[in-house]
């Protein structure tokens, strides 16, 4: 039997790299699409263990170019398309709302049009997000919870989500949408809060004299391990029917809790003092490179967002019942894994990303 062919947009991102590895291991031929830049970097594909695989083909591609999307479908003839490409940083979407909308919104329409024109039998996965719930209307959030996005990114993702459903209903395209809650890993970009924290904790634990500056530490997120979430994406495209699924852990913790866990992973307990803009955290105990009482964390309002998503917690029971998918890695395990990876990187000369 011929192996299946999958096209992944955003292969240089966290999820793209993990998904490439998972699909290669399942015997797929994978077209990993990346956009041309002056300094394209495949470090995540390397670290995920997918680089150099004979069935991995890298293809240049820009989501905002419809003709590029059409020719890519024609030349690669995929069975499945996983659309992971996006301007995915919520903070930047406030500064670059138009670019975000073009890539994260209209880009999805380009792909759906390319599928409709070239081969409507291609199965399509859209990377939707818990950010669409925004100012949450129910706790926990599931597939039926009303949406209320709170950023240009969230609004744009909601457009793409509905466009995927519309192409499913209008043209019978197998378009599935995964509403994924935050998922993290050592391949996460340095600008996202978990990796920003683990990277700083690693540096401080090795003796670098710096203070971690954060925005809203009260924000609560449902954080899972990215390596498991990409398996859920694949399962969505193997189901009998296209549908919408939430993937989440069902546990929520604050940014402050994540900071606490990250410092615990290097043997430091934190003492938080002050509130809101004047909140700080100091070391309650010493280690080889950290002194008891040392200032380690402070709030910098520069990292506040114009509108915030305060609390996300997902109910993934539909994915469990229909797909047999469930998150397994605990937040403690995830955080430790990320801190240890960053300690190794800094001990060996520098961060990745």
Specify the residue, 73 or 261, whose C-beta has the smaller distance to ligand GDR: 261
Residue range at the interface with ligand NDP (CB under 6 A); choices 115-123, 176-184, 212-220, 291-299: 176-184
Nearer to ligand NDP by C-beta: 10 or 149?
10
> Of the residues 28, 31, 34, 153, which is catalytic?
153
Residue 73 makes contact with ligand NDP by CB under 6 A: no
DSSP string, 110-155: HHHHHHHHH-TTSEEEEEEEGGGT-S-SSSSB-TTSPP---SHHHH
Which candidate, 115, 54, 60, places its Cα nearest to that of 85?
A: 60
Site string for ligand NDP, 113-132 (x = CB under 6 A): --------------x-x---
Q: 156 and 171 in contact (C-beta within 8 Å)?
A: no
Give which of ligand GDR, ligand NDP, none residue 64 binds (C-beta under 5 to 8 Å, depending on kind).
Answer: ligand NDP
Residue 12 engages ligand NDP in binding (rule: CB under 6 A): yes
CA 57 from chain centre, in angstroms, equals 23
In the complex with ligand NDP, the residue whose CB is nearer, 18 or 28, is: 18
Within positions 251 to 310, which residues make up the interface with ligand NDP, using CB under 6 A?
Answer: none
Considering only residues 29-68, where is the footprint of ligand NDP by CB under 6 A?
35, 37, 61-64
Query: Which of ligand GDR, ligand NDP, none does 96 bind, CB closer than 5 to 8 A by kind?
Result: none
* CA 173, 169, 140, 221 torsion-angle sign: positive
Beta strand 183-184 pairing with 80-83: unpaired
**Which is closer to ligand GDR, CB of 68 or CB of 129?**
129
- CB contact at 8 A, 242 and 168: yes
Among 15, 47, 80, 228, binds ligand NDP (CB under 6 A): 15
Helices (H), 172-272: 193-205, 226-238, 255-264
CB of 156 to ligand GDR, least distance (A): 11
Residue 214 partner contact from ligand GDR, ligand NDP, none using kind-dependent CB cut-offs of 5 to 8 Å: ligand GDR
Instruction: Name the one residue in this structure whose structure tokens are 């710096």.
Output: 210
**Active-site residue flag, 159:** no
Q: CA–CA separation, 294 vs 300, rounded Å? A: 18
Judge whether 248 and 223 are in contact, CB under 8 Å.
Answer: no
Under the criterion CB under 6 A, does residue 249 sit at the interface with ligand NDP?
no
Instruction: From the candidates 9, 12, 100, 129, give the one annotated as an active-site residue.
Output: 129
Min dist CB 192 to ligand GDR, Å, is 4
- 332 included as an active-site residue: no
Instruction: Describe the crossing of helices 193-205 and 331-347 by its angle, rounded to 10 degrees.
Output: 50
207's contact among ligand GDR, ligand NDP, none, with CB below 5 to 8 A by partner kind, is none
Residue from the set 29, 76, 87, 244 that interacts with ligand NDP by CB under 6 A: 87
Tell me the C-alpha distance between 338 and 187, whole Å. 9
Q: Which of 310, 313, 279 is nearest to 296 (CA)?
A: 279
The two structure tokens encoding residue 140: 């926990």
Q: Which residues are catalytic, by number?
A: 129, 131, 153
Residues that bind ligand NDP (CB under 6 A): 9-10, 12-16, 35, 37, 61-64, 84-88, 103, 127, 129, 180, 182-183, 189
């Amino acid at each position: 039997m011929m192996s299946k062919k999958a096209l992944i947009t955003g292969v240089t991102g966290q999820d793209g790299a993990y998904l490439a590895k998972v699909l290669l291991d399942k015997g797929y031929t994978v077209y990993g699409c990346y956009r041309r830049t002056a300094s394209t970097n495949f470090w995540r594909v390397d670290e995920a263990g997918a680089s150099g695989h004979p069935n991995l083909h890298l293809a240049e591609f820009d989501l905002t170019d419809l003709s590029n999307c059409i020719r890519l479908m024609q030349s690669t003839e995929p069975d499945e398309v996983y659309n992971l490409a996006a301007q995915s940083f919520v903070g930047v979407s406030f500064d670059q709302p138009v670019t975000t909308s073009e890539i994260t919104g209209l880009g999805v329409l380009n792909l759906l049009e390319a599928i409709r024109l070239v081969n409507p039998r291609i199965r399509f996965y859209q990377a939707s997000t818990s950010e669409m719930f925004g100012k949450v209307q129910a706790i926990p959030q599931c597939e039926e919870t009303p949406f209320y996005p709170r950023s240009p990114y969230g609004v744009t993702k909601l457009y793409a989500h509905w466009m995927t459903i519309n192409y499913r209903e209008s043209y019978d395209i197998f378009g599935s949408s995964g509403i994924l809650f935050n998922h993290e890993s050592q391949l996460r970009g340095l600008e996202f809060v978990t990796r920003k924290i683990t990277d700083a904790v690693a540096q401080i634990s090795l003796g670098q004299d710096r203070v971690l500056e954060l925005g809203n530490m009260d924000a609560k997120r449902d954080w899972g391990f990215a390596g498991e979430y990409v398996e859920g994406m694949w399962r969505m495209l193997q189901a009998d029917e296209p549908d919408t699924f939430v993937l989440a852990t069902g546990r929520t913790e604050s940014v402050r809790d994540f900071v606490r866990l990250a410092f615990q992973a290097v043997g430091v307990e934190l003492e938080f003092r002050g509130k809101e803009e004047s909140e700080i955290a100091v070391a309650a105990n010493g280690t080889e490179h950290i002194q008891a009482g040392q200032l380690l964390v402070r709030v910098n309002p520069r990292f506040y967002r114009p509108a915030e998503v305060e609390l996300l917690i997902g109910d993934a029971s539909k994915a469990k019942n229909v797909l047999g998918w469930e998150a397994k890695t605990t937040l403690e395990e995830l955080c430790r894994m990320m801190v240890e990876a960053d300690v190794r990187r800094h001990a060996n000369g520098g961060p990745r990303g």
